[in-house]
Amino acid sequence: MLGCYIHIPFCDKICIYCDFAKEIADTPKKSAYLEALFYEMSLIKETLKNTDTVYIGGGTPTALNHDQLRLLFNEIRKYVDLNQLKEFTLEANPNHLDPKTIQVLIEGGVTRLSLGVQSLSHSVLKTIGRQHDEQQVYQVIEDLRSAGMHNFSVDVMFGLPGQTLPMLKRDLKALIDLKIPHMSIYALILEDHTPLKHKIQKGLLKLPSEDIEGDMFDFVLAAMKEAGYEHYEIANYALPGFRSEHNPIYWRNEPYIGLGAGAHGRLGQERYEHHRSVKKYTESMLSEGLESLIKYEFDPVHDTLFMGLRMSDGVNIRDLEKTHDFDFFKTYHKLEKHFDQGLLVFDDPVLSLTTKGMMFANEVLLTLLEALDDSTR
Amino acid sequence: MDIQAIKKRMESIRNFSIIAHIDHGKSTLADRILEITNSVTKREMKEQLLDSMDLERERGITIKLNAVQILYEHEGTSYIFHLIDTPGHVDFTYEVSRSLAACEGALLVVDAAQGIEAQTLANVYLAFDNNLAIIPVINKIDLPSADVEQVKKDIENVLALDTSKAPLISAKEGIGIDQIIRAIIEDIPPPKGDPEAPLRALIFDSFYDPYRGVIPSIRIVDGIIQKGDLIKMMASEAIYEVVEVGVNTPKAKIVPMLVPGDVGYVVANIRDVEDVRVGDTITTKTNQAKEALPGYRILNPMVYCGIYPLDSTDYLPLKDALHKLKLNDASLIFEPETSGALGFGFRVGFLGMLHLEIIQERIEREFNIGLLATAPSVSYHVTLTDQSVVTIDNPAHLPDAGRISEIQEPVMIATIMTPKDYVGNVMELCQRKRGVYQKMDYLNDSRVEITYHMPLLEIVYDFFDKLKSSSKGYASLDYSYSHYQKSTLVKLDIMINGENVDALSTIVHRDFAYERGKKITEKLKDLIPRQMFEVPIQAAIGGKVIARSTLKAMRKNVIAKCYGGDISRKKKLLEKQKEGKKRMKTVGRVDVPQEAFLSVLSLDD
């Protein structure tokens, strides 16, 4: 499989926890950015031909106006045969998705939407800087379904400032009742250089305690299982038949194209990223083309294990041994304690985390990291 | 040089030190003197030239002594000054006294805004003991808060020194330096000594040169020393052949001989720092002096701690580092030690807390070895039930209470100077820290000197920090050894996950044990990261648990979201966790961070 990720680094308003490449921009700046993005697409048109999935993320892709969205879809169609695509996902904020916009997206070829819901609690949404409210979420879901779009995902976060366990329970119950086909449910990561971190350091906001966050995670696992969702990756849950096609490309360490400011890609034996600033990306792409990409290390064994263990399907160890210089036996005894702790199982040839293991994935990955360091020393 | 020439030369020599409290401007003044006498060109001038170790310059303190020869023309006569630098900290009292013994005079520098401090006083008394001519110098007169008259009055009241001619200076601004030069020439007597008597040279410092061995800094009292002499250290009885004598200008300069009054160095391929003890007297093997110079003492370390490499493969490099530091510092002693919790390391003895901090910092900085140091301990004299006496400097080694008939702990005489507004606070603190009141003197209307007998254990623990906070930073402290005294001390053990952690054992007074135990267990609970399982943390005396806290089990440890194909971010987070783990020691099955081992040091009372 070959994926293609396109980054739209624009937002109407900045959420306080986000440290992605994004900014608030006017129409001319967005147009200039699209020009650079289209130029980059033209430079790799041969590779784009083989794309299996497209994922447009952000930022907020729906921060583009309808004309700009149409331009973008037209450009994609130039290089990618939409009929051959397995999936075409676009991220959107609920407050942007009026029926007209939904129509533009469907006409442009989008087959799956990922909605940045995060929470349904008014106070929490307000604190973290989201612009929608609970009613808008229900409305959008209704509108999507009446427009014939049944494949969509919602993002839900826990461990947010001011969020309580009852709030999270109410959110999940409402979304489960709506039979949302796919949910990404993940704990907040407090990133450096974000307004949230600043506010917490100054004592203006407080995060739920480690214990409450633990209770939240426990609840999510139990509730989603009971509702019949497959927990197929650490933070991803799907009703049967609705797993994402694009995201597992990262987790299986398969190749993907990255396009746009801050986007990452992995092609051949190389990983690369783009300049994060819109200005720098736009200027350097137009003047230097693909020379402006920043290349970095690709470590197939390491990356296959580290990303693969995120999935309930785990990693096929014997395949990895066949294709790479890797001897599982050398790391096995180091991992033994995690088998004993019930975090990890090896059902030859598949190594995978248990449900408990997914809560403590870093413990396992750290041991694995040490073991790999030792075996290459 | 014939005898007459030597005697004439002696007339022109002035040997002096500068006595000052930390930050009162000693090093800056030394720099100005070097400048005005053209001893160094502007180009060579680095701020604070005498403090040559990086650490010294950063901390603004002088650790190792230096001596500089300065040639100066004054009203048609040539003079030779030897400026002998002294360390300005309480841990190094003995070194200070030896470098003062190499002088005939001292400049007493007092900050016009701060007044006299406890340490200044202690060092002036050392100068009195050595019969030095003392020239009071009032520094920082340019500061708006300077109160020259008050400081003068204090010096007269407290030290009975005449301040009518005291130079009023600003070393920083270069004001009044010429007055100091004049005072040095007129008020400090030239050295006495007999060039024809057997050699007697005082060792007041030494430093190590990797190619030429240990090089003592010496002051010649009687006789002559030159290349080829067979010399003998009178206390250590070591014998060496002199291969070079010289002076520092401040660069080393070879001279044909050193004569009475001279201050310089001697190179004799000395390999063992133990042979060159500060305070010892050098004489010649064939024409030995009858009596050594007075005042030689063997220094005993006062404070001990365990030092362990963070990475166990650094054990040998750590050993090497300690050996190298010892070449420059005979007062540093160490021996191998093993801890169940920390593995292989060393028990190291220090003169005091500053000495301890400096050595730790130098190992980490100059040798690039990550260290884990246990809480400092003092040395106890323990009488066992069979009446034998053992010395214990590691709390973990204290025998079972049942085998002990008596424990004695070292007690210091602590002198505290404080503005009178804080006398109540300071005395309350001293009482709380088991101090026994000795006396109180009013230095003037506003400053008080209070003397207590204070267990060294309490001083080492947190007394100095508490003293500062109970006096808004104004009180200063000086202490020296007084005696050993019987005390009701117990060993407080810490158990993590049921396992006794030897490196966390401390000895405390019985009255403090319960509270201390409670605080340590609470603090450890905050410092140790959560583990995969619940961990009990207990404090116990003789196997009886007196306090307990519970570290709850970790709830999750996962990077929840993996952003659009950005693998590097996840890798960085994991690498960071890995590095964090590396800096921990595994005790039982629990990862304990470095800070936890120091937690027993500072608990807010």
Q: Is A192 on the interface with B (CB under 8 A)?
A: no
Say if residue B29's pLDDT is above 80.
yes
Q: Do B578 and A303 touch (CB under 8 A)?
A: no
Q: Closest Cα to residue B21, out of B134, B136, B123, B154? A: B123
Q: Do B565 and A210 touch (CB under 8 A)?
A: no
**Which among A7, A210, A365 has the least Cβ separation from residue B555?**
A210
**Which among B532, B560, B567 has the least Cβ separation from residue A189?**
B560
For chain B, the residues whose C-beta falls within 8 A of a C-beta of chain A are: 530, 532, 552, 554-568, 570-571, 574-575, 577-578, 581
- In chain B, the percentage of residues whose pLDDT exceeds 70 is 93
CB B359 within 8 A of CB B348: yes
Q: Do A359 and B557 touch (CB under 8 A)?
A: yes
- What pLDDT does residue B343 have? 87
Say if residue B604's pLDDT is above 70.
no
Q: Show the tokens assigned to B89.
A: 């900290």
**From residue B181, how far is each of A344, B328, B464 by CA, in Å?**
79, 32, 37
> A315-316 and A350-353 as β-strands: parallel, antiparallel, unpaired?
antiparallel
Instruction: Report which of residues A160 and B47 the model is more confident about.
Output: A160
- What pLDDT does residue B395 have? 92
Say if residue B595's pLDDT is above 80.
no
Segment B545-565 shows an average pLDDT of 85
Q: Do A307 and B555 touch (CB under 8 A)?
A: no
Q: Show the tokens assigned to B341.
A: 């919790």
Structure confidence by residue, pLDDT tens digits, A150-162:
999 999 999 999 9
Query: Chain A contacts of B571, Cβ < 8 Å?
Result: 306
| Nearest residue on chain B to A3, alpha-carbon basis | B565
Q: Show the tokens assigned to A285.
A: 């792409």
> Tokens 């009013």 appear where?
B442
- What pLDDT does residue B406 have? 94
- In chain A, the percentage of residues whose pLDDT exceeds 70 is 99
**Which among A234, A273, A306 has the least Cβ separation from residue B560?**
A234
Which residues lie across from B343 on neighbouring strands?
Answer: B339
Q: Is A303 on the interface with B (CB under 8 A)?
A: yes
Q: Show the tokens assigned to A125.
A: 């949404």
Give, for B247, the enclosing helix (H) or strand (E).
strand B244-248
Query: Chain B contacts of A210, Cβ < 8 Å?
Result: 530, 554-555
Segment B78-100 shows an average pLDDT of 81
**From residue B289, how far is each of A133, A231, B234, B253, B266 by CA, in Å?**
97, 91, 9, 27, 18
CA distance B563 to A91: 13
Structure confidence by residue, pLDDT tens digits, B155-170:
998 888 999 899 999 9
Average pLDDT over chain A, rounded to an integer: 94
Query: Chain A contacts of B532, Cβ < 8 Å?
Result: 341, 360, 363
**Residues written for chain B:** 605
CA dihedral A78→A83→A87→A93, nearest 10 degrees, is 60
- What pLDDT does residue B327 have? 75
- What pLDDT does residue B30 have? 84
Ramachandran region, residue A98 (left: φ > 0; alpha: ψ -120 to 50; beta: rest): beta
Question: In this structure, what DSSP letter does residue A293 have?
Answer: P
- What pLDDT does residue B88 have? 57
Burial class of B59 by CB neighbour count within 10 A (0 to 12, 13 to 18, 19+): middle
Q: Do B566 and A359 touch (CB under 8 A)?
A: no
Q: Do A359 and B558 touch (CB under 8 A)?
A: yes
**Residues written for chain A:** 377
**Which among B554, B558, B565 has the least Cβ separation from residue A264?**
B565
The Cα diameter of chain A in Å comes to 59
User: Among A365, A367, A370, which would you mutate to test the B interface (most chain B Cβ atoms within 10 Å of its Cβ)?
Assistant: A365
| For chain B, the helix, strand and coil percentages under 3-state DSSP, each to the nearest 5 | 30, 35, 35
Query: Chain B contacts of A3, Cβ < 8 Å?
Result: 565
> Tokens 């650094």 appear where?
B314
Size of interface A-B (CB pairs under 8 A): 96
Segment A91-100 shows an average pLDDT of 95
Q: Is A210 on the interface with B (CB under 8 A)?
A: yes
Q: Do B568 and A296 touch (CB under 8 A)?
A: yes
Q: Do A341 and B532 touch (CB under 8 A)?
A: yes
**Which among B558, B567, B581 has the least Cβ separation from residue A360?**
B558
- At residue B329 the predicted structure's pLDDT band, cuts being 50, 70 and 90, is confident
- What pLDDT does residue A376 have? 61
Flag the least confident range among A301-305, B57-61, B367-371. Answer: B57-61
User: Among B532, B550, B562, B574, which would you mutate to test the A interface (most chain A Cβ atoms within 10 Å of its Cβ)?
Assistant: B562
| Nearest residue on chain A to B529, alpha-carbon basis | A210
Instruction: Report which of residues B561 and A318 the model is more confident about.
Output: A318
**Which among A266, A273, A369 has the least Cβ separation from residue B574?**
A369
Q: Closest Cα to residue B478, out of B96, B26, B38? A: B96
Which residues 38-67 in chain A show a CB within 8 A of chain B? Answer: 55, 57
CA distance A184 to B244: 79
Q: Do A360 and B532 touch (CB under 8 A)?
A: yes
- What pLDDT does residue B62 have? 43
Query: Chain A contacts of B565, Cβ < 8 Å?
Result: 3, 5, 250, 256, 258, 263-266
- At residue A297 the predicted structure's pLDDT band, cuts being 50, 70 and 90, is confident
Q: Do A362 and B557 touch (CB under 8 A)?
A: yes
Instruction: Report which of residues A285 and B503 the model is more confident about.
Output: A285
Q: Is A265 on the interface with B (CB under 8 A)?
A: yes
Say if residue B71's pLDDT is above 70.
yes
Structure confidence by residue, pLDDT tens digits, A215-226:
999 999 999 999
Question: In this structure, what DSSP letter does residue A277 have?
Answer: S
Q: Show the tokens assigned to A192.
A: 């450096």
| Nearest residue on chain B to A211, alpha-carbon basis | B555
Say if residue A91's pLDDT is above 60.
yes
| For chain A, the helix, strand and coil percentages under 3-state DSSP, each to the nearest 5 | 50, 20, 35
- What pLDDT does residue B304 have? 94
Structure confidence by residue, pLDDT tens digits, B223-237:
999 999 999 999 989
Query: Chain B contacts of A369, Cβ < 8 Å?
Result: 574-575, 578
CA distance B374 to B185: 50
- What pLDDT does residue B549 have? 95
CB A264 within 8 A of CB A271: yes
Segment A22-45 shows an average pLDDT of 94
Segment A272-295 shows an average pLDDT of 95
Segment B562-566 shows an average pLDDT of 67
Segment B250-277 shows an average pLDDT of 90
- What pLDDT does residue B52 have? 52
The distance of B558 to chain A (nearest Cα, Å) reads 5
CB A182 within 8 A of CB A245: no
Average pLDDT over chain B, rounded to an integer: 87
- At residue B210 the predicted structure's pLDDT band, cuts being 50, 70 and 90, is confident
Please state the φ and ψ torsions of residue B252, each to the nearest 5 degrees.
-65, 135
DSSP B374-397: PPPB--EEEEETTS-EEEE-SGGG
Q: Is A132 on the interface with B (CB under 8 A)?
A: no
- What pLDDT does residue A125 have? 95
